[in-house]
Structure 1
Amino acid sequence: MTEAMLGPLRRVHAGVLDIAFHESGPEDGPPAVLLHGFPYDVHAYAEVVPILADAGCRVVVPYLRGFGPTQFVDAATPRSGEQAALAADLRALLDALAIPQAVLAGYDWGGTAACVAAALWPERCTGLVSFNSYKVQAIAHADEPAPPENEFRYWYQWYFHTERGRAGLAQNRRDLCRLLWRLWSPTWAFDDATWERTAPAFDNPDFVDIVIHSYRHRYGKAAGDPAYADLQAALDQMPEIRVPSITFDGADDGVMSPAGTADQGHHFTGPRTHRTLPGVGHNMPQEAPRVFADAVLELISPHRR
């Protein structure tokens, strides 16, 4: 898939960021915002976007902070990767594009941004598609061990807690990120061209700082940006998600097995369906684009004009 499949690259001043994003479909169509994860970029949605745009949706796909051409407006702004910052960026983008409500869909970091926004500002979210279910980070319980079969999958997170890990990411970002692609999606046979479309997104000058902060903050190993302290305080309560939701797990996910999200249903108090996808790893939009797109359309249908 080429960049053109994502629609033109645009920029907008949104909060603390100058956000680069792709937009496709009619401007008056029901909006869907698609959010990528780490270590991925907007090209994860190259096959999802045309399906949604052809169905009449307004589709917005932003580069997250620290990725691709997205930049900070002020050099003095802390390079935070915390969950509250990602969600605040999403809300600022909706405001900047004058989108009152949208279906929010994402995975990995993008799933966290979507889940946090859906929980804190349900009036802005007509529906949620989230891979790995409830992606709000339980930072207050971060020192409680997970089952061993899950802990070993998080080796990269412990690595990033060290200065050796920071240096390793800085020096070997492409090799390390490509390794994560292979480990996390063991049944996804991506080719060099697919990888090379995304890899330049990691050359963003803030990439390393934001990634390192993200994986340290979620374990209480780094302080958050004071600008988001109130939002994080609300997230410490693990707020419920009341909006209509469709959640997924990948049966072959190398980061989070379906068993790891099996007890998260109580966080969803609105209509919710959960599905496990055979043959899918961690990068669902790129591995199962039709299924992902159909889930977005399923949530958009009740709101279609």
Structure 2
Amino acid sequence: MKRVRAGVLDVAYAEIGPPDGPPAVLLHGFPYAAHACAAAGEILAGAGVRCLIPSLRGYGATRFRDAATPRSGEQAALGADLLAFLDALGIERAVLAGYDWGGRAACVVAALWPERAAGLVTCGSGYNIHDVARSGRPAAPEAECRLWYQYYFQSERGRAGLTADRAGIARLLWRQWSPNWAFDAQTFAASAAAFDNPDFVDVVIHSYRVRYGLVPGDPAYAQIEARLAPQPRIGVPTVVLEGGDGGVFPPQSERGDAERFTGPYAYRRLPGIGHNVPQEAPEAFAEAVRSLV
């Protein structure tokens, strides 16, 4: 693992592949870790791609540089972290590829700073920017029940539960979100170690409260959030990978969120794959990145 000072963070990251290769940043989600992107990174490195795999704020060995910095999990913070990471490494443009929280960071940068994104790989239905203003609108009961963890985290009981057994909650979500993925104890343990980060609980709880407008965001990111509020379209070349058997939001369309993208766009559904696309289908994830390099 390497380290770099990037914005408010001291970011821990892995670098795989030739240093002069075209860069790609591979980004994990919740409740996963940078380890989820390792196999895809090795495939890409073998194809000559310089892969950078950071631990997000609140995960692994990444740390806040100042104890006074709010432990925000809002989308603007994740996007700002990614932009600062690119700046710190002197990378003008890279393919940005991620899922869940990592996909959100990639979408934010691709939407607001498209000159920094050579391409975008985003998982799920594709457009991963929260519409906070409409977050209070209920979904169908079947969809609402899948979000139990988000409602749990609104309460102090949920915070206490995550603090007491963060690995237990993560393991349950892995099983629910990827019902066909037979991961073993060693695979889970490799990622679960990242949840021991001292800021993990605070960042996670804030993330799931601020997206519903129930707590304030960090004022440092207010301007970015204001730019995200109109739900800006994304114009960079994009590949969307959606697991055909994900347990969060099952596929709803044969084109994903195509209407939210204005540039070259491809949608690929992966039968049998759940939420953790890079780790469950590393070849498909790597191929999507390689197609944009």
Local SS of the residue matching 1:256: coil
Say if 2:5 and 2:11, in contact at 8 Å, map to a contact too: yes
For 2:119 and 2:196, locate their aligned partners in 1 and report how far apart those are by CA, in whole Å.
Answer: 33
Q: Deviations over 1:252-272 (max 9, x none)?
A: 100111118966221101110
Q: Deviations over 1:58-102 (max 9, x none)?
A: 100000000000000000000000000000000000000000000
Deviates more, 1:211-220 or 1:251-260: 251-260
Alignment map for 1:126-275 (pairs within 5 Å): 126-132=118-124, 133-259=126-252, 264-275=257-268
Whichever residue aligns with residue 69 of structure 2, its letter is: T
Whichever residue aligns with residue 161 of structure 1, its letter is: Q
Local SS of the residue matching 1:275: strand
Are residues 261 and 98 of structure 1, via their aligned partners in 2, closer, same or farther at CA, if it must alter by over 3 Å?
A: farther
Deviates more, 1:289-298 or 1:259-268: 259-268
* Deviation of the 1:148 alpha carbon: 2.1
Say if 1:150 and 1:260, in contact at 8 Å, map to a contact too: no
* Deviation of the 1:217 alpha carbon: 0.4
Whichever residue aligns with residue 32 of structure 1, its letter is: A
Q: Deviations over 1:1-53 (max 9, x none)?
A: xxxxxxxx000000000000000111111000000000000110121011111
Unpaired stretches in structure 2, ≥5 consecutive residues = none
> Which residue pairs with 2:33 in the alignment?
41
For 1:228 and 1:251, locate their aligned partners in 2 and report how far apart those are by CA, in whole Å.
Answer: 34
Unpaired stretches in structure 1, ≥5 consecutive residues = 1-8, 301-305
Q: 1:123 aligns with which of 115, 123, 126?
A: 115
**Runs of 4 or more above 4 Å deviation:** 260-263
Q: 1:70 aligns with which of 54, 62, 65?
A: 62
For 2:254 and 2:211, locate their aligned partners in 1 and report how far apart those are by CA, in whole Å.
Answer: 17
Say if 2:72 and 2:206, in contact at 8 Å, map to a contact too: yes
For 1:175 and 1:76, locate their aligned partners in 2 and report how far apart those are by CA, in whole Å.
Answer: 29
* Deviation of the 1:163 alpha carbon: 0.7
Whichever residue aligns with residue 80 of structure 1, its letter is: S
> Which residue pairs with 2:89 in the alignment?
97
Q: Deviations over 1:106-147 (max 9, x none)?
A: 000000000011000000000000001000001010001122
Q: Deviations over 1:220-276 (max 9, x none)?
A: 011000000000000001011000000021111001111189662211011101111
- Aligned alpha-carbon RMSD (Å): 1.1
The two structures have a TM-score, normalised by structure 1, of 0.94
